[in-house]
Amino acid sequence: MAEQLRLMTVHAHPDDESSKGAATMARYVAEGVDVLVATCTGGERGSVLNPQMDRPEVLADIANIRKREMDEARAILGVRQAWLGFVDSGLPEGDPLPPLPEGCFGLVDPEEGAKPLIKLIREFRPHVMTTYDENGGYPHPDHIMCHNISVVAFDAAGDPDKYPELGEPWQPSKLYYNSGWTRARMLALHEGMLAAGLESPYTEWLQNEERTDRGDKITTRIECGEYFEIRDNALRAHATQVDPDGFWFHVPMEMQQKVWPTEDFELARSLVDSPTPESDLFAGIRESVDTH
Ligand SMILES: [Zn+2]
């Protein structure tokens, strides 16, 4: 029996799947890979970031609206999607920072919080998983917890002694962290814009020396420039979260495709033989899965 390759991407909020690794998902979907997005929270505490959507009736119904936005983005990307059922922590602001709201995702015990994800892994049986790095990629409590439960789940899902009530063990072969905002990428886009006589949206970003840069941790670059359009369409489907006139869409598509045509990942765990650098999330796995 022919088997399909399967990719599971774990994300904190609806919209994260469309801003981190979305073109990679679209490429793998086009190649016949079964792709499932696991969304930790409903994004209930997210602010409305698009001025055109910042209306009282939108805020009053934000949880439902974000579900519908996710449905639309899922259809555009051609992926499957599942909710893990946690409640958004919101991004704490102020000095000192206020405590996180009771019952939110950022406060769960990772061993407990991993349960719905382990169940989903054992049902979907992904060969490859992606999540965020230990700093969350960006320091939102839900992004950090997304990392925490993903690592617990990756390490436990294949162990018959762990969580036996959650289904037949399945061990994914590789775990990756999404990489996006590296200095090298920002600089390449910045210089591309300046060379074309355009205003760069990254000037301020590049002046902030305090950002930690993980560019040297990248092991895997996925060519996916021809899917950037799909990524942007999926992102726009999250209309409450994305300003169509904003930052994201300032760099012309052709320039992005020319200057930085890949999405990049850090290989965090591998149970197969896959020398890095690589150009395929399934390197070392394809050989052993009979897809014909
Ligand atoms: Zn998020």
SS3 letters across 212-256? CCCHHHCCEEEECHHHHHHHHHHHHHCCCCCCCCCHHHCCCHHHH
Q: What distance in angstroms lies between residue 278's CA and the mean position of ligand 1's atoms?
A: 27
pLDDT of 247 above 80: no
Point out the least confidently predicted range of 22-36, 69-83, 86-100: 86-100
Query: How confident is the model over 135-175, as pLDDT tens digits?
Result: 988 889 999 999 999 999 999 999 999 999 999 999 999 99
Tokens of 160: 């018959």
The answer to whether 33 and 4 have CB atoms below 8 angstroms apart is yes
Is 143 annotated in some ligand binding site? yes
Judged against a pLDDT cut of 70, whether residue 1 lies above it is answered with no
One-letter amino acid of 282: F
- Which of 108, 130, 236, 120 has the alpha carbon at shortest distance from 174? 130
Compute, in angstroms, the gap from residue 275 CA to the centroid of ligand 1. 31
User: Which pLDDT score is estimated for 136?
Assistant: 86
Distances (CA, A) of 144 to 28, 107, 136, 192, 252: 26, 11, 4, 32, 31
Q: How far is the CA of 272 from the centre of ligand 1 (A)?
A: 30
Token pair for residue 250? 């300032």
- Give the pLDDT band of residue 214 (cuts 50, 70, 90): very high
DSSP 171-219: --SEEEEEE---HHHHHHHHHHHHHTT---TTHHHHH-TTS---GGG--
- State pTM to two decimals: 0.96
* Residue range 110-128, pLDDT digits in tens: 999 999 999 999 999 999 9
175 CB-side CA count, 13 A: 21
Phi/psi at 84 (5° precision): -85, -15
65 C-alpha to center of ligand 1: Å? 16
CA of 170 to the centre of ligand 1 (A): 27
| Centroid of ligand 1 to alpha carbon of 183 (angstroms) | 21
Q: What is the dihedral of CA 9, 72, 29, 177, to 10 degrees?
A: -20
CA of 143 to the centre of ligand 1 (A): 6
Query: How far is ligand 1, taken at its centre, from the CA of residue 15, in Å?
Result: 7
Has residue 242 got a pLDDT over 70?
yes
- Average pLDDT over the chain, rounded to an integer: 94
Q: What is the pLDDT of residue 249?
A: 85
User: Does an H or E element contain 146, and which?
Assistant: helix 141-156
- E-state strands within the chain: 6-11, 34-41, 80-86, 128-131, 174-179, 220-223, 262-270
Distance 182 CA to ligand 1 centre (A): 18
- How far is ligand 1, taken at its centre, from the CA of residue 106, in Å? 12
Find out whether 13 is annotated in a ligand binding site: yes
